[in-house]
């Protein structure tokens, strides 16, 4: 029995010794696919057989060859060109330009590691499994929303076609309509982005189908018939100015010119700031008085606030929708309190919307004799027995103080006002509506606050001037001359 067991052990050892060369042979290729050091496996260098990606057989490729093969494939996908239709226009785009991006570049390392991790026994087993069943990897893609949105915006800029409204020209006391209405097209960027996103993520580009974006009709906002109805005076207002302030008056004239003959179509919003700007010498403006930090200073375009204010009052009387209006920081003298409309930078503007069914024609009339008038024309639908009135109410008054500067170079008793003060106010503008002379309603249009600004006064603190020496005049024998004429010195207050 013992001899029989010994023979079995001997036979097993012989079989084991015979299998060692076979195992060595089977693992020879594996030993060339990994790099080893004293610590074990470091990094695979060759892709095992049976590994593929998106139909590409990657087995036997070196690390560098694998990277090149995957990059070539991915770039081919991203560089694929598709037709893009936008309304009546057609262009082409690569998938990458539409926002398509490779989202799993780590797959290269995963491919290389397949069958090349673990101890020698595990690697041997994994390689055999790969040869039998294989393993398929996939390059994954995603949509970069920023790139997609930018592409849609670019398409909108290139291919949007604005609608055309008939034009309106004033000739004497009448109006003439020129041109016809035409419908435009506008790219629906949100809907088109969603459609493009689906086109990419569902890989519809593999079907060789083009991409048709969503466009909407941009209908004209005024018909020929609506334009032909324009001719009724809806609102008018006039302000006055001093003819002596040449630069300021030139600014008023220039700003009025830029607004004159503007047509505001139904639903549109008019911005006085946008119409008059930029406030530069190149656009016809001069330095003139304006408000800044409680003082009157010269700035390019000083005086245009009188233009926006005059227009504001015409808009109120036309009963159009005021979208934006701001009062001045300090009161102005050419309209009642709370009836002004300031322009300043990008934060103060006069905007109104045409909330009627017909266009509004703006007429500006500048008179060098000292007046500015705005007339707003449209189609009158209000009851002729209905009238409106605007009344300013002063809520509070804040007297201005004095900011005194001491000047030791001037003698005691010296006093000079170097800048005028401004009284502060809080006021409301009210709108009264009458029908056949009977009040129907009253509503507050706005509440405005104007800051008080102190007068700047310089006083002397130096030594008093010496009194003149007394002399005894010799008696005159000539006939006394008549007393000199008394004149009142002229004073000018900067206008805004």
- Asked whether residue 236 falls in the same domain as residue 366, the answer is yes
Cβ-contact 259, 311 below 8 angstroms: yes
Residue 467: predicted pLDDT: 62
- Phi and psi of 315, rounded to 5°? -65, -45
Q: Which of 140, 56, 57, 55 lies closest to 104, judged by CA?
A: 140
- Asked whether residue 271 falls in the same domain as residue 211, the answer is no
Q: How far apart are CA 94 and CA 75, in angstroms?
A: 11
What number of CA atoms fall less than 13 Å from residue 95's CA on the CB side?
Answer: 25
Give per-residue pLDDT as tens, 419-466. 899 999 999 999 999 999 999 999 999 999 999 999 999 999 988 766
- 471, two tokens: 């002399």
Instruction: Identify the segments of the chain with pLDDT beneath 70.
Output: 1-43, 129, 465-496
- Asked whether residue 175 falls in the same domain as residue 310, the answer is no
Q: How far apart are CA 124 and CA 23, in angstroms?
A: 9
Q: Which of 104, 101, 127, 100 lies closest to 116, judged by CA?
A: 127
Q: Which of 243, 192, 181 lies closest to 370, judged by CA?
A: 243
- Asked whether residue 361 falls in the same domain as residue 393, the answer is no
- Asked whether residue 252 falls in the same domain as residue 319, the answer is yes
Q: 315: alpha, beta or left, given left = phi > 0 and alpha = psi -120 to 50?
A: alpha
Torsion angle of alpha carbons 128, 129, 132, 136, nearest 10°? -130
Q: What is the mean pLDDT of the chain?
A: 87
- Asked whether residue 261 falls in the same domain as residue 329, the answer is yes
Q: Does 7 reside within a domain?
A: no
* Beta pairing partners, 361: 263, 377
Domain-ending residue, one of 161, 187, 220: 220
Residue 123: predicted pLDDT: 75
Global confidence as pTM: 0.72
- Phi and psi of 476, rounded to 5°? -90, 145
- Asked whether residue 419 falls in the same domain as residue 457, the answer is yes
- Number of independent structural domains in the chain: 3
Q: Does 407 reside within a domain?
A: yes
- Asked whether residue 375 falls in the same domain as residue 417, the answer is no
Domain-ending residue, one of 322, 357, 382: 382
Q: 283: alpha, beta or left, given left = phi > 0 and alpha = psi -120 to 50?
A: alpha
Of all residues in the chain, the percent with pLDDT exceeding 70 is 85
- For residue 303, what are the domain limits? 229-382
Q: How far apart are CA 19 and CA 124, in angstroms?
A: 15
Give per-residue pLDDT as tens, 76-120. 999 999 999 999 999 999 999 999 999 999 999 999 998 888 888
Q: What angle do CA 318, 319, 322 make, to 5 degrees?
A: 115
302 vs 73, 189, 245, 292, 368, CA distance in Å?
64, 41, 11, 11, 17
> Residues near 363 by Cβ (< 8 Å), separated by ≥ 6?
170, 260, 261, 374, 375, 376, 377
Give per-residue pLDDT as tens, 197-236. 999 999 999 988 899 999 999 999 999 999 999 999 999 9
- Asked whether residue 438 falls in the same domain as residue 334, the answer is no
Q: Which of 364, 367, 370, 375 lies closest to 256, judged by CA?
A: 364
DSSP result, 265-301: -TT-EEEHHHHH---SGGGT--EEEEEETTEEEEEET
- 97, two tokens: 């330009």
- Asked whether residue 356 falls in the same domain as residue 434, the answer is no
Residue 127: predicted pLDDT: 79
Residue 45: predicted pLDDT: 85
Residue 420: predicted pLDDT: 92
Q: How far apart are CA 18 and CA 389, in angstroms?
A: 116
- Phi and psi of 97, rounded to 5°? -65, -25
Peptide bond before residue 278 is cis, with ω within 30 degrees of 0: yes
CA 309 to chain centre: 25
- 104, two tokens: 């799993």
């Amino acid at each position: 029995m013992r001899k029989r067991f010994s023979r079995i052990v001997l036979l097993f050892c012989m079989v084991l010794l015979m299998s060692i060369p076979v195992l060595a042979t089977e693992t020879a290729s594996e030993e060339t696919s990994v790099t080893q050091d004293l610590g074990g496996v470091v990094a695979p260098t060759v892709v095992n057989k049976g590994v593929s990606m998106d139909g590409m057989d990657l087995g036997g490729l070196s690390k560098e060859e694998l990277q090149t093969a995957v990059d070539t494939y991915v770039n081919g996908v991203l560089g694929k060109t598709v037709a893009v239709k936008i309304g009546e226009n057609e262009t082409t785009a690569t998938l990458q330009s539409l926002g398509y991006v490779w989202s799993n570049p780590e797959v290269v390392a995963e491919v290389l590691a397949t069958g090349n991790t673990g101890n020698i026994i595990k690697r041997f087993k994994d390689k055999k499994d790969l040869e039998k069943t294989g393993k398929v990897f996939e390059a994954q893609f995603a949509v970069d929303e920023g790139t997609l949105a930018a592409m849609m915006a670019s398409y909108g800029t290139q291919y949007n076609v604005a609608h055309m409204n008939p034009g309106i020209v004033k000739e004497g006391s009448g109006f003439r309509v020129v041109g016809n209405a035409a419908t435009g097209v506008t790219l629906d960027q949100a809907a088109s982005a969603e459609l493009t996103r689906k086109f990419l993520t569902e890989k519809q580009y593999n079907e060789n189908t083009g991409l048709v974006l969503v466009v909407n009709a941009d209908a004209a906002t005024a018909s020929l018939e609506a334009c032909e109805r324009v001719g009724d005076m809806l609102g008018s207002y006039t302000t006055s100015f001093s003819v002596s302030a040449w630069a300021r008056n030139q600014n008023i004239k220039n700003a009025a010119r830029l607004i004159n003959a503007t047509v505001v179509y139904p639903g549109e919003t008019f911005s006085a700031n946008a119409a008059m700007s930029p406030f530069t010498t190149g656009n016809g403006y001069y330095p003139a008085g304006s408000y800044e930090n409680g003082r009157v200073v010269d700035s390019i375009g000083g005086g245009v606030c009188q233009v926006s204010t005059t227009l504001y009052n015409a808009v109120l009387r036309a009963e159009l929708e005021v979208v934006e209006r701001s009062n001045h920081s300090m009161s102005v003298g050419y309209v009642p309190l709370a009836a002004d409309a300031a322009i300043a930078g990008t934060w103060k503007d006069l905007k109104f919307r045409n909330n009627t069914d017909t266009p509004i024609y703006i007429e500006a009339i500048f008179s060098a004799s000292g007046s500015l008038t705005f007339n707003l024309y449209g189609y009158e639908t209000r009851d002729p027995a209905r009238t409106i009135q605007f009344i300013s109410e002063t809520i509070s008054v804040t007297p201005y103080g004095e900011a005194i500067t001491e000047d030791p170079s001037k003698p005691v008793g010296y006093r000079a006002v170097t800048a005028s003060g401004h009284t502060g106010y809080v006021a409301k503008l009210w709108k009264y509506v009458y029908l056949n002379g009977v009040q129907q309603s009253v509503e507050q249009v706005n509440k405005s606050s104007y800051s008080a600004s102190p007068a700047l006064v310089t006083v002397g603190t130096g030594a008093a001037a010496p009194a003149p020496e007394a002399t005894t005049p010799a008696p005159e024998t000539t006939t006394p001359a008549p007393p000199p004429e008394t004149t009142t010195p002229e004073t000018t207050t900067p206008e805004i």
